[in-house]
Amino acid sequence: MPGDFMNFGSGPHFAADNTIKLMGKSVLVTGGAGFVGSHLIERLLGQGAQVICLDNLSTGRLSNISRHAGNDRFTLMRQDVCDPILIAGAVDEIFNLACPASPPKYQIDPVRTFKTSVFGAMNVLELARRKGARVFQASTSEVYGDPEISPQHEAYRGAVNTFGPRACYDEGKRAAETLFHDFHHQYGVDIRIARIFNTYGPRMCKDDGRVVSNFVTQALMGRDITLYGDGSQTRSFCYVDDLVEGFLRLMASDVAVPVNLGNPGEFTMVELAQMVLDKTGSSSRLVRRPLPKDDPRQRRPDITQATKKLGWAPTVALSDGLDRTIAHFAAELGRPSCQTATLMPEAAE
């Protein structure tokens, strides 16, 4: 059924960014109230676009987009992406970001997660076909599974378990890429696909289960920091502003094949935990738990294609990005971002 529209009225607009021209374009962002989506919407509005945010608020938050109240170029359409998307008037571009992205969230209802990836992709592609819009798919490094090579390049086909707890997300995103490929070749739909590696920054949910939010929240609260396995598994962390810049450059390009977007700097979980402890001044202990099934041992993007074809590379170092992220969580939790006194450990429950 059609979604409920809420227009936030007239008011001040964001300062224009001259990097990529979007003035007057109508842009739909599904999952726009989420962590990454809300940062994307901020950039789109700042560059002159008319923005429709489609979100059912299952994991997205109104607080992420409430700053746009009073902007007559912003409309919230409260709807599930699994339902047909009916929008009157022109739609020039579509960014499909709708889907829970952290394992604890997407594993709550794995069937729903798979449907969101597949039915959601189908619905945005059908809309793009009707409107003649360019459509962007937020895919994921999870399409590479637990990789056998490092770094991972776009031609690598991956090592994904189709019969495990992460498959609902991994295979859902792989299926969505297939739909994008086939709509492009069969119907001529203009597509863009970004394979996103680990991303962090302000507006992450403190309880979303991702490693940066987990470590920062645990450190600020004086709780034990949970390491899974021996902590030697690696991830590469891209600050959200860098990722959004990559989105906009890819959407403005003529590249119709998947492109990796991420920061190739590689850190073990022990190294990340120690950085968070040093920056927060926390006395939290590191405690180890069994490694979850199918948890990848290594993540590192090969961003050669993004650099060559988009002129893109991340600019925010992990140390600087963590400072901004810790400040965000400290404000949200009501805690100082750098502890000068020893924190009491969490009480046993």
**Cβ atoms of residues 288 and 174 within 8 Å:** no
pLDDT at 13: 29
Q: Report d(CA 193, CA 113) in Å as an integer.
A: 19
pLDDT at 19: 52
Map out the domains of the chain with their CATH numbers: 4-203+238-264+299-315 (3.40.50.720)
pLDDT at 337: 59
User: What residues contact 341, with CB distance under 8 A and at least 6 apart?
Assistant: none
Q: Report d(CA 118, CA 173) in Å as an integer.
A: 8
Q: What are phi and psi of 159, to 5 degrees?
A: -140, 80
The verdict on whether 169 is a catalytic residue reads yes
| CA-based nearest residue to 339, from 257, 276, 288, 295 | 276
**74 — alpha (psi -120 to 50), left (phi > 0) or beta?**
beta
Q: Which of 106, 144, 169, 200 is catalytic?
A: 169
Q: Report d(CA 179, CA 177) in Å as an integer.
A: 5
Alpha helices, H only, the chain: 35-46, 103-106, 110-131, 167-187, 211-221, 240-252, 269-280, 304-310, 318-333
Token pair of 155 as six digits: 């031609």
pLDDT at 103: 85
pLDDT by 10s per residue, the chain, length 349:
345 444 433 332 223 334 577 888 999 999 999 999 999 999 999 999 999 999 999 999 999 999 998 999 999 999 999 999 999 999 999 999 999 888 888 889 999 999 999 999 999 999 999 999 999 999 999 999 999 999 999 999 999 999 999 999 999 999 999 999 999 999 999 999 999 999 999 999 988 889 999 999 999 999 999 999 999 999 999 999 999 999 999 999 999 999 999 999 999 999 999 999 999 999 999 999 998 887 888 999 999 999 999 999 999 999 999 999 999 999 999 877 553 322 222 222 2
Q: Report d(CA 163, CA 81) in Å as an integer.
A: 25
pLDDT at 15: 32
Q: Report d(CA 286, CA 170) in Å as an integer.
A: 29
Distance from CA of residue 202 to its chain's centroid?
A: 12
Q: Report d(CA 62, CA 39) in Å as an integer.
A: 13
Three-class secondary structure assignment of 15-27: CCCCCCCCCCCEE
Q: Report d(CA 301, CA 156) in Å as an integer.
A: 11
pTM for the structure as a whole: 0.89
Could you give the 3-state DSSP secondary structure of residue 147? Answer: coil
Per-residue buried b or exposed e for 147-186, using 16+ beta carbons within 10 Å of the residue's own CB = beebbbebebebebeeeeebbbbbbbbbbbbebbeebbee
pLDDT at 338: 52
Q: Please identify which residue in the block is written with the tokens 């700042």.
A: 46
